[in-house]
Structure 1
Amino acid sequence: MKPQQQWITVDLNNLGNYSDGINQIYRGEIDGFWIKQVFSPAEMQKVKETLTKTQAELSNLLSTQRYGKLLGAILTENGSDTTKYFRDAALVRQALKKIFPRDYEETIESVFSQLSGGRKVTVAHQKNDYYSSAQVRFTYPNTGGIRLHKGNEFIGLDGFEGLHEIVKLKDCLSYYLVISPPESGGELVLYDDLPEELTVNKEELDLENSLQRRYNPGVGDLIVFHGACIWHAVSEVKGSQIRYSIGGFLGLSHDEQTIYYWA
């Protein structure tokens, strides 16, 4: 198992100790950060209530997934034609301004900036086309959770061409915040002993007996980790409560002067 110090749990006001943290994750020096209380539980309760009230009017941005539902723009939905994606991305960004009592993008950018090594932090964009800043996931009980994956599996898909032009997509980072936890389950599970390239189907893996680390962040906590490189999953949600989470990805520009984030 990897040494535990590669996973850093830190309070928001102590991020100055990791001022180049995002680049350290890229370089493999740190696996990830668990940053406490980026949003307060009271703020996230308001977010949950607003999401519940507005799902009907946001139905054009909702899609059914194996784990439940996703609210957001889907980059690969129409292959290399990203016209609808960028239209939906603009709607998502507008919706987040109404859903969050405190500006979502400004808040997470302020955190990423403290880990940026002085680099500029911004939503990924090409000319006037801005990517979405986040997706909201509703992970339902007894659906198997979010299954084993890592980001490097997907970066060759149609739809990613534009991102490849501006971001070092290989080995990029994932981020998410918990809006509302389930009664049990819904943990982030990192698998430490799986090969970089699998030689068998995922269904044939004995994941229960694999070396794993489990993290269960609290409401309003932010996780930033090496999601493109580390095999990971979200454990099955148990009980009657849906797990609400929000997140996306972030990475360095090719000249390493900017940190872009997107979903």
Structure 2
Amino acid sequence: MIQSPVVKSLYNFATVNAEEVAQVYPNGIQDICDRQIDGLIIENILNPTEIGKVVSQLNRKGPLEGSPFGDILIYGPALYVSSEDTGKYCQEAVEFRHFCRQLFSGGRDFERRMSEVLSTLSGGRVVELPKAADGSEYTPASIRVLETDQFMGWHFENQFLHCTPGYRELINKIELSDHLAYFVVLSDPEAGGELVLYDIQWHETEWTDRENGGRGCNGTINGRPLAEVMEEYSQMTISPKPGSLVIFDGGRILHRVSAVKGKRRRITIGGFVAFSRQREKVFYWS
């Protein structure tokens, strides 16, 4: 039987090659949700030639016009910054999916590849995008580009699930106890840009602002603001290679991405994964 190494430190992450994952973790999504492991690093989801063609096209510097993400360049919509009316989000999803098909046209289609890989981890469940009330599909992913000294701030995925208006429709369809984060590394920086995981879990925190607390990151732990005390807690870091898919319990585990150092950008494409209410389906979106 193929054995995959498991990193046993603060959290348990298993590393496995894409060709072997169906044999080793055929129910990997459930394994993470049920806390058998905390995450998977699946190497060689995309090959270097495919990655090189994609990265060579992502030359823009600075955020897109009218972007809600500040100085960070993000391609594609994100549900956590949407209003309760997801019409604009779904229209942007159509546009991003077209952009993404063109971007990956020199190799395997990203959306098809992600559906394929998630299916190998689904325990035989159907894998699909969530749909809005009018039948419009959500976006499967968004692309994040971090330049020198840029970073992604701390968060739980669950804060968006419970404390942002854009999720009001989706929460009627997915399992509410948790949802996972996923991303594929397209370009890794010379230094920095690590995924940093903290010894702080969702159930330990308090969120009094159920309307905008997710976007405002105003959670507390034992009544103290998370931002003030999080560095007092143990941490572990992960630096996956280009072409690797990371899927982990980002709903439960506090995490951030450290500042990028050097000239090479950190580029990832990803989003979120959750079971449907009865666990008969797997949904993924951004």
- Specify if TM > 0.5: yes
SS in 2 for 1:50: coil
Q: Which amino acid aligns with 2:136?
A: D
1:102-121 matches, within 5 Å, as: 102-121=108-127
In 2, the alpha carbon distance for the partners of 1:67 and 1:192 equals: 29
Structure 1 position 68, deviation (Å): 1.9
5+ unaligned residues in a row in structure 1: which ranges? none
Cα distance per residue 1:9-34 (max 9 Å; x no partner): 11112211111110111111210000
Cα distance per residue 1:118-162 (max 9 Å; x no partner): 10111222452100000101112213x111111111113111112
Tell whether 2:253 aligns with 1:230: yes
Tell whether 2:224 aligns with 1:200: yes
Identity rate, percent: 32
Q: Which amino acid aligns with 1:85?
A: Y
Cα distance per residue 1:57-79 (max 9 Å; x no partner): x956x726356221111324452
Cα distance per residue 1:76-119 (max 9 Å; x no partner): 44521111100001111111100113110111111111110110
5+ unaligned residues in a row in structure 2: which ranges? 1-6, 206-220
In 1, the alpha carbon distance for the partners of 2:13 and 2:64 equals: 37
In 2, the alpha carbon distance for the partners of 1:246 and 1:124 equals: 18
For the 8 Å contact 1:64–1:70, the answer to whether it is kept is no
1:89 alignment partner, one of 90, 93, 104: 93
Given the superposition, is the C-alpha separation of residues 212 and 169 from structure 1 closer, same or farther in structure 2, using an over 3 Å criterion? same
1:1-263 matches, within 5 Å, as: 3-4=8-9, 6-15=12-21, 16-52=23-59, 55=60, 59=64, 63=67, 65-66=69-70, 68-100=72-104, 101-126=107-132, 128-143=135-150, 145-156=151-162, 157-193=164-200, 196-197=204-205, 198=221, 199-207=223-231, 209-263=232-286
For the 8 Å contact 2:192–2:259, the answer to whether it is kept is yes
In 2, the alpha carbon distance for the partners of 1:30 and 1:75 equals: 27
Structure 1 position 206, deviation (Å): 5.0
For the 8 Å contact 2:51–2:243, the answer to whether it is kept is yes
Root-mean-square deviation over aligned CA pairs = 2.2
SS in 2 for 1:129: coil
Given the superposition, is the C-alpha separation of residues 202 and 133 from structure 1 closer, same or farther in structure 2, using an over 3 Å criterion? same
SS in 1 for 2:56: helix
Given the superposition, is the C-alpha separation of residues 78 and 110 from structure 1 closer, same or farther in structure 2, using an over 3 Å criterion? closer
- TM-score normalized by the length of structure 2: 0.83
In 2, the alpha carbon distance for the partners of 1:227 and 1:76 equals: 14
